[in-house]
Structure 1
Amino acid sequence: MNEEPKKSIDEEAGLPEDCDDEKDLGLKNGRPRVLARIETVPDIKKDTSGITTQYIATGIVNLGAFAAGACIAWSSSALLLLHHAKSEAVFTHATNTTTINDTHSRLVLSDSEASWTASLLCLGAACGAIPTGLISQYFGRKKTLLYLALPLVVSWLLVASSPNVYGLYVGRFVGGLAVGAFSVGIPPYVEDIAEPELLPTLANFYHVHLACGVLFGYVVGMISNTTWLSFLCATVPIAFFIAFIFLPESPAYLMSQGKYNEAKAALRYFRGIDNNIDSEIKELKEHMRNYAKLKVTFKELLSTKAMVKALVVSFGLTIFQQMSGIYPVLFYAQYIFKTFAISQNLPGAAIILGFCLVSSTYFSTMLLKTVRRRVLLMISFTAMALSLGTFAVYYHLQVSSVFEKGTWIPLFTLCIFVSVYAVGVGPIPWLMLREIFPKPATRRATAITAGFHWFLAFAVTKMFQHLVKKVGPGWALWYFASICVIGLIFVYFFVPETKGRSLEEIQNEFDGIHKKRKHRHVIEVESVSDA
């Protein structure tokens, strides 16, 4: 029986067998190939080392995260403008009866409609996060991210011009699809273009840009017109599209499609002319050849004890991260300040809150390099619980007329809350995904964790209104503080330390394997001198 000749490894991977020679760059099947897209890419300041190029490219792609932050912050000011004048905002126990109206608004929202408008962004993000990895695998990382600007612009146009609340719902949900897709699609692109020693720093750009987008949304929220507020936020995805279109596709994706020459040109763009990319190209080729063997399905994530425990840790951190109340604080910042009758101007107080979030997120990069993960998580959960508890005590004393209205305490405690969140509880669950899962499983685990993250954000944001109506603002704060305490206990008993440890050591701990330390036995032999 005749057997078909086996294909070579290079043919199975879609790579030419003689593609190791760098002089073949620009040739395909013996004919010149013009890389039109690569040739249009600007040479960033003649960067010969590639470091500046990687920083600038990472900043450009994370304009998507900036746009997502603006979507989150929009509701803080816009919902006050769209809310019914006779309503006491989201809270039934409000202590300040000052009302704010947008005289140009065509919509007037009830309490329930306002909460749906805020939370539907997160529901859309949950739907957009899970399939993004598969979509980018088939259509390309760059193309997928680039076209996400379209639904964002459409969502802002719907929000700005919708004549009824249902158009507002659709606009927020469509915008959420892009927000969730950005959270899953941006990190792999950065991972593909970054050198290993720069990756920890560049990976944190997502959180910094997201925080900057929140601050931007609070700043433009000073405009008391929801139409103009939406149009200003729409400029961010437009700027992202214009800037990102000039960057190359991910070298790893190009290699996976058999486009060796384009992959090499793209990698050389990100590495500069001073670096030899031959070894990295060979690593990419080897990874593509073994991709089918190393590929992990969603079912295989539950196949081993170590994988299941890693998912428990990942999901547990996500639960306590979201149930701590961070998104209700960001979505309803001005509502909360209005309820507690702070002495500061409402938009100005939101801007201060956003600035604390940005500065803490920026400095968290340095802390993550020096402080252990478990220590940062426990300090963060403890400080969040204390700040929320202090806020709750202040509210009860204010209701009892011990404190006068118009103090700085609510703003101060919330600034502490978002600052310590940004240092530990915010970035570390995402960072640990790369440390507790094998590399082939990381992107699958990231996709389902991101979907779970955004679904929880939707549930907590929607529940916040009903919780405050049932128990009042003070007891709602106590609820979130207690969640932080339980999160602290979870970290202490279930979360392993990952800093400075290999994946094998972490997986062995999940499997219950404790390697014994090697003991060196020294036998001293006394020499006897000859008589």
Structure 2
Amino acid sequence: MSQASHKSFLYKCTIVAAVGGFLFGYDTAVVSGAIGYMETYYSLDAAMKGWAASCALIGCMIGAMVAGVLSDSWGRKKVLQLAAFAFAISSIGILIPMNFSGFIVFRMIGGIGIGLASILAPLYISEIAPAESRGRLVSIYQLGIVIGILVIYFVNAGIASLNTVEWNIATGWRWMFGSGILPSILFIILLANVPESPRWLVQQHRSVEAKSILLKINDAVTVENEMNSIQSAIGEKQISLKELWKTGFRKALLIGVVLAILSQITGINVIMYYAPEIFKQTGADTESSLLQTIIVGAINFLMTLVAIRYVDRLGRKKLLLIGSLGMAVCLLIVGLGFHWNIGQAWIILLSILLYISFFAISLGPLTFVVVSEIFPNQVRGRAMSIAIFFLWLSTYIVSQTFPMLLESVGAAKTFWIYMILSAVAFVFVWKFIPETKGKSLEEIEKMWQ
């Protein structure tokens, strides 16, 4: 195969996996346009409003917990297909009029799909990508997420504009959730046309199949060296998660877990889930707040393109440091905007856009890059499950507590809490995260030992 054919095949596999990211972003952010109408429809207080927005995250945690074990047994591709079906079932279920408990059940089913995809999509890409382009390709998964977020912001605004406020309260918000059936079906179809992860195939003693896939990505000499490296790493003593904690890989596990937590408790999903409600706090009406939310999604998309361009040039650590420091400064200004209440609308909007920009070049895509590459081959799926479980647990806590914090301590202090946590993220990256750009997965494994 020519170099162009190698590249075409690699990007085809990456883009299909990134559709899992698209569904992740689409399904998590859909609640931002619906939550205000649901609050009225179900007469929700602050705690129940937080539960409506964050209940899917319980499913995400369940999906994350089982993803590693399932993917190590069934393969990466089959579990991605399971995620696609969970998305579809959730979308169809919420279209059916039901009580609040029924809504919660179907949101949790969708959450299981998100939890599975959040591990398997970046894991699949990292295991199929060459070392020199792995950061860029895994970041395409995050691009899928932000495109999904941006698209659902447009869909939400479009559905809300179709009819009256009363219609949106009674019916419109259901169609926001139900629209997810279309990308779910697309994902199911596309997954039928991509191969299994070559590293998983080697683990299953299917080296001939693995080599044939790798030959579609690289030249014969490179593939031979890569196969030897993979077989050598997998041929070593198998490591259980318990042994992982006792060995030199414990640092990798701690880094993965803490980075996953910090990527969420710095407040990103407060913006993604509650953006229209935040902008209403500045005095914007419903229509204006939905349009401002679209701007947030557009900036997220554009700055993720910047991350994709520079992650394999500047490296993971440098971008993480720049991003976390920038996020802290922006959150400080958002808090001051609410605190002073002077010209706050444009100050807060600009600061939130800058905050999103810094997140989109750092903790957004690079958390998945780092977590997908730092663990040894034998336990990558299960170790990633632990890290991503904590990511979803953190997202749940932030999403559940934000309406209550807003009500109890006010917007200014709430955003200052996230500012302090962004500063903690900066220190953590500076002190503990090593640079992994340009290293193969097997070289990173040896680095910990």
* Smaller-chain TM-score bracket: 0.7 to 0.9
Specify whether residues 477 and 367 from structure 1 end up closer, same or farther in structure 2 by C-alpha distance, changes over 3 A only: same
Specify whether residues 309 and 137 from structure 1 end up closer, same or farther in structure 2 by C-alpha distance, changes over 3 A only: closer
Q: Separation in 1 of the partners of 2:212 and 2:256?
A: 37
Aligned position for 2:125: 190
| Higher RCO (C-alpha under 8 Å, 6+ residues apart) | 2
1:311 corresponds to 2:311: no
1:247 corresponds to 2:179: no
Which of 450, 453, 456 does residue 394 from structure 2 map onto?
Answer: 456
Specify whether residues 294 and 328 from structure 1 end up closer, same or farther in structure 2 by C-alpha distance, changes over 3 A only: farther
Structure label with greater radius of gyration: 1
Which of 170, 175, 178 does residue 228 from structure 1 map onto?
Answer: 175
Q: Separation in 1 of the partners of 2:399 and 2:241?
A: 28
1:429 corresponds to 2:367: yes
1:62 corresponds to 2:18: yes
Deviation at 1:237, TM superposition (A): 1.0
Counterparts of 1:89-488 in structure 2 under 5 Å?
107-222=42-157, 223-224=159-160, 225-259=172-206, 262-263=209-210, 265-268=212-215, 270-271=216-217, 276-277=219-220, 280=223, 283-284=226-227, 287=230, 291=234, 293-304=236-247, 306-342=248-284, 345-398=288-341, 402-403=342-343, 407-433=345-371, 436-488=374-426
Gapped regions of structure 2 (runs ≥ 5): 161-171
SS at 1:163 equivalent: coil
Q: Separation in 2 of the partners of 1:278 and 1:494?
A: 35
Deviation at 1:419, TM superposition (A): 0.9
Q: Deviations over 1:174-218 (max 9, x none)?
A: 111110111111123223433343333211111110111111111
Q: Is contact 2:234–2:377 with CA below 8 Å preserved after alignment? A: no
Deviation at 1:279, TM superposition (A): 6.5
1:81 corresponds to 2:37: yes
Q: Separation in 2 of the partners of 1:191 and 1:396?
A: 44
Q: Deviations over 1:269-325 (max 9, x none)?
A: x33xxx654863685477458636343211012113x43333333333233222111
Q: Separation in 2 of the partners of 1:408 and 1:158?
A: 39
Q: TM-score, normalised by structure 1?
A: 0.75
Q: Separation in 2 of the partners of 1:141 and 1:381?
A: 31
Q: Is contact 1:159–1:230 with CA below 8 Å preserved after alignment? A: yes
Q: Is contact 1:433–1:446 with CA below 8 Å preserved after alignment? A: yes
Deviation at 1:388, TM superposition (A): 1.1
Specify whether residues 282 and 313 from structure 1 end up closer, same or farther in structure 2 by C-alpha distance, changes over 3 A only: closer
Specify whether residues 171 and 146 from structure 1 end up closer, same or farther in structure 2 by C-alpha distance, changes over 3 A only: same
Which has the larger displacement, 447-456 or 436-445? Answer: 436-445
Q: TM-score, normalised by structure 2?
A: 0.87
Q: Is contact 2:126–2:372 with CA below 8 Å preserved after alignment? A: no
Gapped regions of structure 1 (runs ≥ 5): 1-42, 85-105, 509-531
Greater per-residue helix proportion: 2
Specify whether residues 234 and 441 from structure 1 end up closer, same or farther in structure 2 by C-alpha distance, changes over 3 A only: same
Say how many residue pairs are matched: 433
SS at 1:216 equivalent: helix
Q: Separation in 2 of the partners of 1:217 and 1:444?
A: 31
Q: Is contact 2:82–2:113 with CA below 8 Å preserved after alignment? A: no
